[in-house]
Chain A
Amino acid sequence: MTAPAPALRRFGDNLRAAPRRLRDSLFRSGRPVSDRTRASFVFGNVFLHLHPARVHRWSLRPTFTLGLGVMTLSTFLVALVTGILLMVYYKPSTALAYDSIKDLHFVVPTGRFIRNIHRWAANLMVVGVLLHMARAFYTGAYRAPRELNWVVGMLLLAITLGLSFTGYLLPWDQLAYWAVTIGANIAQSPREVTDALGITAWLDAGGLQKELLLGSDTVGEEALIRFYLLHVMVLPLALCTLLAVHFWRVRKDGGLVRPADAEARLGPAPQGTWPVFTEAPQKTYSLAALVKGKTAAVGRGPEGTVPAMPHLLLAESAALMLSVLLCVLLSVLADAPLKELANPAVPENPAKAPWYFLGLQELVAHSAFMGGIGIPTVVLVGLGLIPFLDRESEGTGLWFGGPGGGRLVALSAVYGLLAVVGIEAFAIHYGWIREWWPKAPQLLITLVNPGTVLTAAYAAWSVWLVRRHDSTRAGALGLFTCFAVGFLVLTVIGVHFRGPNWDFYWWPSQWPGH
């Protein structure tokens, strides 16, 4: 037997080396064992390079972020994957939609499980985005230079709610039909004001909004197609775009917020933490951009930081796994609802939206325009303005940081609770202007109803706090806490205490039969 020709031998060697070379071309810098290779592992990978190469220990404390941002992203990814799977069978037509969801629920292999996961992921995403917002607020993360990211976050909250709303139309069941009828009429509710002023004939903003949303004057095929388009294409694209901006800004604004004395508060790193810039032969900085604020590490040494690979990536993976686990567990425990086929002649009684809109439903039960458009706009604009009004720096990066701190938040929670319970109890017990004075002008009720009175009470409390503590941050803490408590209480009232005809009942077991 003769020795193989050199070309053939080279071919054999190359074939044997192929797996190693594939790995080397995937991870060019080799195994992440030193500070340098750990860093290049992150910035040399298109999927990871939004991460910093090193991350401050303050940002990694679970009690600081609670992992909420990553968990919200994870639930979105879960909803994205399961949503694509559901699109395999779903048919966006009024004649077929309900049956296709029924098929998914009862016939398609794993269809019910996937639909449950999609529904629970969407619910958890709403919870996650709300809690993440509260975390960012209470740790002062909206402050300069992070003002824009706070506003982007609020847009993401609005898109998340839009995704939920457009999603529950698609099964074309009773919940879907009446939720969309109500939603479209909320879009039309500026007419409540234009009618009262007698200018609807010239300026019908409400009618235009409804027509653009439904493509018709009633909820039907056109509305279903439009909501489907929004749900599977327009809103996810908008969400992904803004997510990219959101994450990019986190990096450019200097990472997560932390107090100026974070390193002193943390103390020395525990023994066994991956070493800090000891193995790299020399320290070189190459700044791609100058970052505003006091957070750039240049000249201060990176003592408080650890390599993002593996510390940050492990923490993120843990949050991802926890989210997936929650989605799957909840999906095993509770099925996604599917009501009767949509019936345009008979609304459900009570016709309740999903839980996250029941606070709004309670507000629109006082005034359609104020509850559905006026107050939400005031709240969103108010929250969006907070970073531009609060230019203080005391307590940045600390839970409930700022003048008064935790005590102020607790007091505000008590005030917010008393105000919302008091006003709701009054309206439930004594009724409102229309019952005392049936001929009352509608404009009066639009302006003065339990929702607007509550908003005014919260605003007054916030202004008083600004004066009392001589601090905008104190007012912001009070306002946000009041809104959070108000949202929570109104949601509980809507979920538990409202029965047929939106009447008040202590227990659902007291509902009259119908």
Chain B
Amino acid sequence: MSKAAPAEAVERSRLDPEPIPRRDFLGLAATWSALATLAFAALGMLRLPKAAVLPSPSKKFRVSLPESLAPGEPFLAPGRPVVLVRDGLGVYAVSRVCTHLGCIVQPSPAGFDCPCHGSRFAPDGAVLKGPAPKPLQWLAVSSLGAGSYVVDEGAAVPPGTRVKA
């Protein structure tokens, strides 16, 4: 130890002690570990309300198109927010869940209208008016034969995708 150090120690008062960096380090380490532990515990608690299994009903359903359905005429799947259309190229399904805030759009002469915030969609789902940020989703359809189809509400496909009737 150098000779200057004791002289400095004498000048310091009891209320203004010599700083001891290793104690600061221990204090800071303890504070930050406590904060990190609390933050981690809070995140861990948030893990509980984030469900591992979503208890919603199956997204797949089966539907039969009537023989009398005219080409291009929308068919509302019973009990499901989906519309099916059969035209010259095949069968496709469009979701009726508005891409804005999830209301169910209703068919209109020009396509679909949303009752909640006024979005309008063309028959192929393209946005014509209103706040909807995206076109209505086209959904995966597979044919079971004899006019029966399986639609998967959880599987979006690119617009224009059809399955052979």
Contact = CB atoms under 8 A, between A and B. Distances in A.
Contacts of B46: 212
Contacts of A220: 55-56
A442 B116 contact: no
Contacts, number: 105
B72 interface: no
B50 A361 contact: no
A349 B115 contact: yes
A212 B118 CA distance: 28
B126 A438 contact: yes
B101 interface: yes
B102 A215 contact: no
B62 interface: no
Contact of B116 (A218, A347, A445, A449): A347
A216 B51 contact: yes
Contact of A221 (B55, B79, B103, B133): B55
Given A212-B50, A366-B131, A346 B104 contact: yes
A284 to B, nearest CB: 33
A49 interface: no
B141 interface: no
B101 A501 contact: no
B51 A368 contact: no
B102 A182 contact: yes
Given A215-B49, A350-B116, A503-B118, A368 B134 contact: no
B134 A195 contact: yes
Interface residues of B, number: 29
A446 interface: yes
A438 B118 CA distance: 15
Interface string B149-161: 0000000000000
A222 interface: yes
Contacts of A371: 131
Nearest to A371: B131
B51 A211 contact: yes
A371 B118 CA distance: 15
A502 B50 contact: no
Contacts of B129: 431, 434-435
B55 A216 contact: yes
A184 to B, nearest CB: 7
A368 B100 contact: yes
Contacts of B102: 181-182, 184-185
A383 interface: no
A182 B106 CA distance: 17
Interface in A270-322: none
Contact of B133 (A208, A345, A435, A446): A446
B116 A182 contact: yes
Contacts of B130: 365, 434, 502
Given A349-B115, A368-B131, A218 B104 contact: no
A263 interface: no
Interface of B is mostly: loop
B131 A501 contact: no
B79 A192 contact: no
A75 B89 CA distance: 63
A215 B126 CA distance: 31
Contacts of A350: 115-116
B118 A501 contact: yes
B117 interface: yes
A489 to B, nearest CB: 18
Contacts of A503: 118
Nearest to B126: A438
A196 B55 contact: no
B54 A502 contact: no
B56 A345 contact: no
A218 B126 CA distance: 24
B128 interface: yes
A216 B103 contact: no
A365 B126 contact: no
A217 B54 contact: yes
B159 to A, nearest CB: 14
Contact of B104 (A216, A345, A445): A345
A350 B118 CA distance: 9
Nearest to B46: A212
Given A178-B116, A192-B133, A438-B128, A186 B101 contact: yes
B140 to A, nearest CB: 17
Contacts of B116: 178, 182, 347, 350-351, 502
A501 B113 contact: yes
B94 interface: no
A12 to B, nearest CB: 61
B112 to A, nearest CB: 11
A158 B148 CA distance: 50
Q: Which residue of B104, B116, B117 has the most chain A CB atoms within 10 A of its CB atom?
A: B116
A474 to B, nearest CB: 35
A185 B101 contact: yes
Given A189-B101, A195-B133, 6 more contacts: A185-B100, A215-B49, A216-B51, A220-B55, A431-B129, A501-B115
29 contacts: A181-B102, A181-B103, A182-B101, A182-B102, A192-B133, A211-B51, A212-B46, A212-B50, A215-B51, A217-B54, A220-B56, A222-B55, A345-B81, A347-B103, A348-B115, A351-B116, A364-B101, A364-B117, A364-B131, A434-B130, A438-B126, A438-B128, A442-B133, A446-B133, A501-B113, A501-B114, A501-B118, A502-B116, A503-B118
Interface of B: 46, 49-51, 54-56, 79, 81, 100-104, 106, 113-118, 126-131, 133-134
Top-6 shortest CB links A-B: A502-B118, A349-B115, A365-B117, A185-B101, A185-B102, A442-B133
